[in-house]
Amino acid sequence: MKSEARRERKMATASVVASLMAVLSSSSSASAFAPSSSSLRTTTTAIDVSSTKLFHWANRFDVRFEEQSSDDESPLLQETAAKHKLQPISEEFTRRSILSIGVIGTTLSTLLSSSLPANADFAPGGTLLDRPVYVTYGNSEASPTRAPNNSNVLFAQDNYYKFGSAAQWIEAGSTEFPKTMPFVPSQQRYDALKKFNGRVQTSKDQIVKIGSVSSGADVPDSDDPAYQLRALGLLANSFLASENTGTTNELMLARWYINEMYLRIGDYRGALQNGDQKDAEACYGYLTKAMNSYLTLINRSISSKVGDQFSYL
């Protein structure tokens, strides 16, 4: 009895799947399978062999379509191959199949009739957005040399990775953006500032230094340790996230500014090598904006108990 019940359940599943295939096929003008009004009967579902093989993956749910050798003379297989249809199932499972088909059909109709905006796109992190996604969206002064998949930056999981857009600059000393800051224990911030304070100062000094050169050969590569950009990221990790908060939006924002510094150093160096002084000055200006935005974000988490705030470029 259990074997028969299991067999009937498999038969019912196959009927639902086959009917679902018919609904999907009927919604596509390019499909070769166009079911008639009688193809979705409650007890019998026809399958057009011109577009659906007898041993289609959907039929693996039904024991009546188990593969057999070519010399097998099973009457059941011969009859099925001749008619290309599933056999009637019991009345008990017919009612259940009708209900399943109704639910699935309603869901499919909703999905097929609704459409995403024409400019919808995915952020590198997988977020589906109802707008275009590109590296300068939201800030025309962001580096255009950032890879669309965020593969050429120091910290891949930044503001662009999650939101698919560039962040706005923060005016030096401003507290208007972002609106709030994550709570991080003051002891954690104190320890981090004590550890990375000198390296942040070194990073600032190096950026000031390259601003007075006239040749691209005098500008170290973006990944040169002289810039201490990774140290900026480590400081941000301790200032803008904790074990309780995980990776916050504010931390991703700080990483975006660091990544912009990384990219703009390369842009600045390239402009000098090409002899384009105007472009070099613009790139250096965006580099300082990125550094000051980062420092402003960090300074908001430096209270008198933590230490002294950083000065700006």
- pLDDT digits (tens), the chain, 313 positions: 556 666 666 666 666 556 656 555 554 444 333 344 444 343 344 444 444 444 444 444 444 444 444 455 556 555 555 554 445 555 554 555 555 555 455 555 554 455 556 678 999 999 999 999 999 999 999 999 999 999 999 999 999 999 999 999 999 999 999 999 999 999 999 999 999 999 999 999 999 999 999 899 999 999 999 999 999 999 999 999 998 899 999 999 999 999 999 999 999 999 999 999 999 999 999 999 999 999 999 999 999 999 999 999 9
What are the residues whose beta carbons fall under 8 Å from the beta carbon of 88, sequence distance 6 or more? 43, 44
Tokens 């470029």: give the residue: 313
Report which secondary-structure segment, H or E, holds 72.
none
Whole-number Cα distances in Å, 187 to 90, 99, 158, 182, 270: 70, 60, 25, 15, 42
